[in-house]
Amino acid sequence: MAGQAKDSTAEDAPLTPHSEPAGGTDTLEAAMLAERNPVKRLLKVLGPGLVTGASDDDPSGIGTYTTAGAQFGFATLWLAVFSFPLMAGVQYACAKVGMVSGMGLAGVLRRHYPRPLLYLAVLALLVANTINAGADIGAIAAAINLLIPTVPAWLFVVPTSLTILAIQIWGSYRLIANIFKWLTLALFAYIAAAFFARPDWGEVLRASLIPTLHFDATFLAIVVAILGTTISPYLFFWQASQEVEEEISVGRKQLWQRKGATNNELKYAAWDVNIGMLLSNAVMYFIILATAATLFKAGKTDVQTATDAAQALRPIAGDAAGLLLAVGLIGAGFLAVPILTGSAAYAVSEALGWQFGFDQKVAKAKQFYAVIAASTLVGMLINFTGIGQIAALFWTAVINGFLAPPLLVVLMLVANNRTVMGKRVNGWLVNLLCGVATLIMFAAAIALVLTWGKS
């Protein structure tokens, strides 16, 4: 990935589709047409959408899904099925904004919308991402504590934070993504655990297809948290920014070169996003199923620590359950924290017109890296407030559940703005999916507030 190049005259060029590669480099479309092997063709498609999907199962998500399964059994399984098309529609809209406009969401807001809206959205994102990063850092420390139980978990918080920060500043995000996205595959052990726990599959099917709703504060908090950690605000900004970075990396350094997208480019982006979101939701579904079939069935409904969460893996892993969960949490955390702090830094940098990009040298993007450092260090300090591991992860998801609906409205305004998108405004299906996601998340958040008022 390369940093944002500035070109004030090129920014005003007309919106045009890509007709040829920039600077003599090959586009994804050309590479796809040249590749005969269908497996290799599929691998070429996978990019920002797959990484976004993998990062969506961050420790906050894992903690939330574990809490849901332990407290309510199979009752929230339907949310995994129901949310898949919604999150796929939302992330595709984000990808398309980045591909067609040539800018991230914050850049579009800065160029086409009132500054108060821009600053409010970016500030809310920065605060939520910092809290989320802090919770995820704490989860990584707890996972390391599972591997080294003789050392208190809090002693790993500072080294973990500094390690992540050092990799972001002196390394490359691509290095982080390539290494740690494979570690997150350990979370697929929940799939095996769900089968080995021998649940009532008739009950599982009913819970998956027939929605269950309870209008009490505890259940609604779970619903808001699941939606908030699944359709997460930081992913909106990250997806659009990464589509831009992908284009910059193949030579489209000027804004006018990045504007527009062909039908095939959008089709490949849709495949990338759908596969990424499907894998994300599969992990979500089986974490809820495995914890419901084990912890809930055993009456272990109060999950407070990573050790508690590991118990759901015992049917398949036995005494190695803690090891499996630790590897999964470490991989998920090391993948997610840079995305959380990085998406905040992208948004702040675009909003204020700074240079940005993980492949930029620190000297050329000082403010970008300063935001990452500040967000990481503040998140680190949150871990010394005494909040429980799983509780911190869960309430982080609730915060995202409240922030997502208004940001979804902003996304829909952008994705349907012809000045920004030209003929590539959202179609009826993507608008329907984004609209349903927005309305449901608003309704869930409002219902939760009303139940809190009555409690």
Residue 259: per-residue pLDDT: 80
Instruction: Count CB-CB contacts under 10 A for residue 9.
Output: 9
Do residues 85 and 231 lie in contact, with contact meaning Cβ atoms separated by under 8 Å? Answer: no
Residue 266: per-residue pLDDT: 87
Residue 189: per-residue pLDDT: 81
Q: What share of the chain is helix, strand, coil (3-state, %, to 5)?
A: 80, 0, 20
Residue 8: per-residue pLDDT: 36
Q: Which amino acid appears at position 423 of this protein?
A: K
Distance CA 108, CA 418 (A): 12
Residue 348: per-residue pLDDT: 95
Do residues 400 and 125 lie in contact, with contact meaning Cβ atoms separated by under 8 Å? Answer: no
Residue 328: per-residue pLDDT: 84
Residue 409: per-residue pLDDT: 94
Coil, strand or helix at 415? helix
Distance CA 296, CA 101 (A): 47
Q: Which amino acid appears at position 321 of this protein?
A: A
Distance CA 379, CA 260 (A): 37
Do residues 244 and 102 lie in contact, with contact meaning Cβ atoms separated by under 8 Å? Answer: yes
CATH architecture label of 24-454: Up-down Bundle (1.20)
Query: Cα-Cα-Cα-Cα dihedral of 230, 243, 414, 6, to 10°?
Result: 140
Residue 351: per-residue pLDDT: 93
Residue 344: per-residue pLDDT: 94
Residue 18: per-residue pLDDT: 39
Residue 268: per-residue pLDDT: 84
Query: Cα-Cα-Cα-Cα dihedral of 168, 171, 172, 177, to 10°?
Result: -80
Which residues of the chain carry a pLDDT beneath 70?
1-47, 172-181, 183-184, 249-257, 388-389, 453-455
Distance CA 442, CA 260 (A): 32
Q: Which two tokens stand for residue 7?
A: 């070109």
Residue 405: per-residue pLDDT: 93
Q: Which amino acid appears at position 226 of this protein?
A: I
pTM for the whole structure? 0.84
Query: Cα-Cα-Cα-Cα dihedral of 344, 237, 143, 289, to 10°?
Result: 150
Residue 65: per-residue pLDDT: 92
Listed by start position, the domains of the chain span 24-454
Distance CA 330, CA 139 (A): 8
Among the listed residues 190, 179, 158, the one whose alpha carbon sits nearest the alpha carbon of residue 331: 179
